[in-house]
Structure 1
Amino acid sequence: MVIGLTGGIGSGKTTVAGFFKELGVPVYIADKQAKELMETSEEIRQGIVDLLGDEAYNGKFPNRKFIASKVFNNTEKLEKLNSIIHPAVENDFVQWKNKQSSAYVIYEAAILFEKGGYKKCDFNILVTAPKEDRVKRLQKRDQSSRDEIEARMNHQWSDEKKSELADFTIENTNLTQTKEQVRTLHRIILKSGKNS
């Protein structure tokens, strides 16, 4: 089974993914793999250079600041960039999943609902946290300004909209309680796998 895991920036989805990992569940972090594929796949590199120009890469490494500046306020270019990267990540995930032998795997992606990826998952988990907590975490983690953080948040769907598509929601405000919620979900998912 494939369990989708998502949440807005600063919600703590990577922390939640870590708790699943501690329970022995294999975790695939789509954003991390996308970054890796941008460095290793010649096909992706060529597609991005064709779309945005030679400046999109410094040697073999993507020039992330340049790429972000080109697509952040250009929906058409962002869509095209995603259409270069997403299919490659999907193929990579399928190959990875086929090597796993656990009852289920976690597929963690920032824009799981926005791009329809949730439809390929057996269940979907949404990680939420109060906005103020998220802003504080991101200020600490990325040294970003409040305005930058809010601009990024406004680019993502709201938790209300996402929760309509989620099968389960983990409220991540207290790590002990979050861990307990993960354990409970782990039991539920294992049970549902036996009944299917």
Structure 2
Amino acid sequence: MKIVGLTGGIGSGKTTVAKQFQALGIPVYIADDEAKKLMNRSKIIKRKLKALFGDEAYKDNTLNRPFLADKIFNNAENLKKMNAVVHPKVASHFKNWLKKQIAPYVLKESAILFENGAYKDCDLIITVTAPLELRKKRLLKRDNTTLEKIQAIINNQWSDESKISKSHFVITNKDLEETKQQVQLTHNKIVNLIA
């Protein structure tokens, strides 16, 4: 089973692209969603995050996301520590998920595929891009956040240029119809490559 990594900067539209691959029958693993679930479910992660950031990391036994976001997004060291706790668990969860899939390939969607080294486990990589202003506009609408917070997240991610240089495919997500066509084309190329 081939693993195709799907990445892109925050607000580029990775989830939109992932759903379009799903519509073509490709199983999709959204690493960020699974990480959030594991951060709420795993006793080991809870214990380690509380040890790192204090009891405030959880509120009513649920991850205190605003508190954690404040702790990590302007502090590269804290972000690194949190990733060291969460990412090994996500990697192991992904391996178990992978065993249950039946398809020519699967997509592993992760915003920080390169940053956390997960790209090394992928056979092919797709980077989703979109103009920076459009990404910021989408995020302001979606996340009820500030431009300052968006910029802090962008600063912690690899640039599009760096991601593209290590990718096999690039999908530009500006217009939904065009994006669908690019997804179909990329899917066809991947199927041909792995046949």
Could you state the TM-score of these two structures normalised by the residue count of structure 1?
A: 0.95
Partner of 1:86: 87
Partner of 1:136: 137
Query: Residues 7-45 of structure 1: CA distance to partner in whole angstroms, max 9, x if unpaired?
Result: 101100100000000001000000000000011111111
Alpha-carbon distance in structure 1 between the residues aligned to 2:176 and 2:140? 19
Alpha-carbon distance in structure 2 between the residues aligned to 1:168 and 1:28? 18
Q: Report the 3-state secondary structure (helix = DSSP H, G, I; strand = E; otherwise coil) of the residue aligned with 1:10.
A: coil
- One-letter amino acid matched to 1:121: C
User: Superposition pairs for residues 38-77 of structure 1, below 5 Å?
Assistant: 38-77=39-78
Query: Residues 120-168 of structure 1: CA distance to partner in whole angstroms, max 9, x if unpaired?
Result: 1000000001111111111111232323322222221111111111111
Alpha-carbon distance in structure 1 between the residues aligned to 2:74 and 2:144? 22
- One-letter amino acid matched to 1:65: P
Alpha-carbon distance in structure 1 between the residues aligned to 2:136 and 2:166? 24
For structure 2, the 5+ residue unaligned runs are: none
Partner of 1:11: 12
- One-letter amino acid matched to 1:185: T
Alpha-carbon distance in structure 2 between the residues aligned to 1:11 and 1:103? 26
Alpha-carbon distance in structure 1 between the residues aligned to 2:143 and 2:158? 21
Deviates more, 1:96-105 or 1:56-65: 56-65
Residue 112, structure 1, aligned to residue 113, structure 2: yes
Q: Report the 3-state secondary structure (helix = DSSP H, G, I; strand = E; otherwise coil) of the residue aligned with 1:185.
A: helix
Alpha-carbon distance in structure 2 between the residues aligned to 1:92 and 1:118? 16
Partner of 1:180: 181
Aligned length: 194
For structure 1, the 5+ residue unaligned runs are: none
Task: Name the CA shift for 1:177/1:89 in 2 (closer, same or farther; >3 Å).
Answer: same
- One-letter amino acid matched to 1:96: W
